[in-house]
Amino acid sequence: MPELPEVETVRRDLSRRLLGKKIKNLKVFSDKTVASAAAVFYRTLKGQSFVDFDRRGKLLIITLSPANLFLLIHLKMTGQLIYRSSTELLAGGHSLGESDVVNLPNKHTRVAFYFNDGSQLFFNDMRKFGYVKLANREELDRIIAAGYGPEPLTKSFTIDSLTDKLRTKKVNIKAALLNQKNVAGLGNIYVDEVLFAAGIRPQRLANSLRAKELALMYQVINDILKKAISYKGTTFRDFVDTKGQKGNFSKHLQVYGRAGQPCAICRRPITKIKLTGRGTHYCERCQR
DNA sequence: AAGATTGTTGCTTA
DNA sequence: TTAAGCAACAATCT
């Protein structure tokens, strides 16, 4: 599941490989994936260049020039952005590591971009939850204001901002951290990891956390996200970077996907329950 | 073969 | 008016 570290990994990859490239052509395979009519999408994007790559929570924001528009990309659960340079294409894909993304476009390709220098970018999404849509500055600002709280690893995210958001909330802390308006970018995997590292039970009500717990939780949110980015994210099922490579943080997960396996601290088996409709992993002994 | 998988939206309920 | 809860979506795997 692409969460903040995975989307940041993709953002950095794209920025390194696609900066300044001009769209020569594109193809929409799934109308549902692009919010506007495919014809409008095509007309608007053709001839535009990618001049900046930004991210807000799990939302990827590409600045288009000269249109002064933005391409918003959300990977949701199974979205992937796979890049092919012209030299890789000439090599027939044999130099590429992961196998099932060698032949592109494939049946999961929803949008393909073809650039002036011969390179290509594919938006693949098995489950069609993700989207690629156009927005102007006003629409982008509205989307961010309505849905995204403080951004971890930036100045907007502080102990005070986190405390402010959580102190009145009568939902469990897991649901509160999943809510993008309280803190942007955490999903099911990192919320479980954060709560384990902070020693807090996912069932605890958000408004019951003490100042000390909030401070520790704030610290581990930053630490875990930073570390996960340095490992190019977590691949649990589908996530790959723009070269089709899996993320390496998976081996560092302490609780997510480890039900029944021994806790790294006390060796008791990790518990798995359903909370707010989501699979939730924690240690009965180490998390209070 | 039913149930689990999850990010987000939008509807319903309190 | 606001917050909380939850179904719905999509396609695949176990």
What beta strand segments (E) does chain A contain? 23-28, 49-56, 59-65, 69-74, 79-84, 109-115, 120-125, 131-135, 271-275, 278-282
H runs (alpha helix) in A120-271: 137-147, 159-166, 173-178, 188-198, 211-230
A152 catalytic, yes or no?
no
Which pLDDT value is given to residue A212?
96
Task: Indicate yes or no: strand C within 7 A of the C-beta of A169.
Answer: yes
- Supply φ then ψ for residue A135, to 5 degrees: -150, 150
pLDDT for A160 equals 94
- The tokens for A19 are 């900066």
Q: Is the CB of A175 under 7 A from strand C?
A: yes
List protein-proximal bases of chain B (any atom < 7 A from a CB): 4-9
At residue A149, what are phi and psi to the nearest 5 degrees? -85, -165
Catalytic site residue from A55, A58, A110, A165: A58
CA of A237 to C1' of B5 (A): 10
Per-residue flag: A146 CB under 7 A of strand C? no
Instruction: Measure, in angstroms, how far nucleotide C9 C1' is from residue A164 CA.
Output: 33
Give me the phi and psi of A31, to 5 degrees please: -60, -35
A278 in active site: yes
Query: Tens digit of pLDDT per residue, chain A (288 long)?
Result: 799 999 999 999 999 999 999 999 999 999 889 877 788 889 999 999 999 999 999 999 999 999 989 999 999 989 999 999 887 776 655 444 444 446 889 989 999 999 999 999 999 999 888 999 999 999 999 899 889 999 999 999 999 999 999 999 999 999 999 999 999 999 999 999 999 999 999 999 999 999 999 999 999 999 999 999 999 888 877 788 899 888 999 889 999 999 999 999 999 999 999 998 899 999 999 999
What pLDDT does residue A99 have? 43
Beta bridge partners of A74: A59, A131
Choosing from A2, A5, A150, A202, the catalytic residue is A2
Torsion of CA A247, A250, A253, A256, to 10 degrees: 100
pLDDT at A45: 95
- pLDDT of the residue at A98: 46
What's the pLDDT at A48? Answer: 97
Instruction: Give the model's pLDDT for residue A213.
Output: 96
Q: Is the CB of A274 under 7 A from strand C?
A: no
Phi and psi based region of residue A267 (left: phi greater than 0; alpha: psi -120 to 50; beta: remaining): left
Whether the CB of A170 is less than 7 Å away from nucleic strand C comes out as yes
Note the pLDDT of residue A49: 97
Q: What is the pLDDT of residue A96?
A: 47
